[in-house]
Amino acid sequence: MGSLFFNKVAGALLAIFLIVLGLSTLADGIYHTEGPETPAYPVDLAALQPAAAEEEEEAPADFAVLLAGADIGAGERVARRCASCHTFEEGAGNGTGPALWDVIGRDVAEVSGFNYSQAMREYAEGGTEWMFENMSDYLESPRNYVPGTAMSFAGLRDQDDRVNLIAYMRTLSNDPVPMPEPAESDAPAESEGDAASADSEGEGEGDAAADAESDDGDSEPIPDDGEAEPQDG
Ligand code: HEC
């Protein structure tokens, strides 16, 4: 009887425990709601933005890096598209557009004897110079960048064309402006390079030594304690 009573009590306690557990789990399920991790209808905001916005993201690219990889020969070919209006040679005169020798680093609208548009003269105000980035922006779309410019040229939409052309134009000078510095200074990169080359030299020596040893081993597999002699005799 005593043990049956104990069983009943134990059973009741277990039942209570299970009910409490069940209720709290149930309550948790009912009241504790978390927001969904992803919206039911995911919206690709990037896809909704106009294509123009995407193109503008290209602009802040590091010009130093771009120019360092530029193809000057390709830039010279792109420059032919300007040749109907511009000259690029030193001392050459103006055409429909102003002479472009030494234009990178030059003040905007500075060529004497050329009748610049009002828009270009306004853009020049405050001592604006033609540098890599504003040249790229202007050449991408002259009419957008300097509204009212007299340069009736649709623009170079391809960034590689612009970078190559600007790299070429930079060389058209007796004193080219310095190449832009990359965002990070390249001093650490240089020292890393030195360390790497020193390492590889060391490795090379080590390899050579190892090869020499293994060669010895291959050609003379027999210990040099005199037991090689029986081969001869
Ligand atoms: C249809 C003729 C024409 C073509 C093609 C043309 N340009 Fe021009 N460009 C002009 C004219 C005109 C101006 C003067 C703009 C003004 O006064 O608003 C000008 C101005 C410029 C300027 C400003 C110069 C300064 O002294 O401030 C640059 C730089 C330039 N052009 C570069 C180019 C390049 C590079 C190309 C080829 C990718 C090109 N242009 C193609 C007609 C042309």
In 90-155, alpha helices (H): 118-124, 132-140, 142-145
Measured CA to CA, the distance from residue 110 to residue 101 in angstroms comes to 12
Position with higher pLDDT, 31 vs 228:
31
Is residue 14 scored above 80 in pLDDT?
A: yes
Domains of the chain: 77-171 (1.10.760.10)
Q: Ligand 1: list residues with CB < 6 Å.
A: 81-82, 84-86, 96-98, 100, 103, 108-111, 116-117, 119-120, 130, 139, 149-153, 156
Give me ligand 1 centre to Cα 162, in Å. Answer: 14
Number of residues assigned to the chain = 233
Measured CA to CA, the distance from residue 111 to residue 86 in angstroms comes to 12
The number of the ligand 1 atom at minimal distance from the alpha carbon of 117 is: 17
Q: What is the mean pLDDT of residues 88-115?
A: 97
Position with higher pLDDT, 128 vs 28:
128
| pTM flag (> 0.75) | no
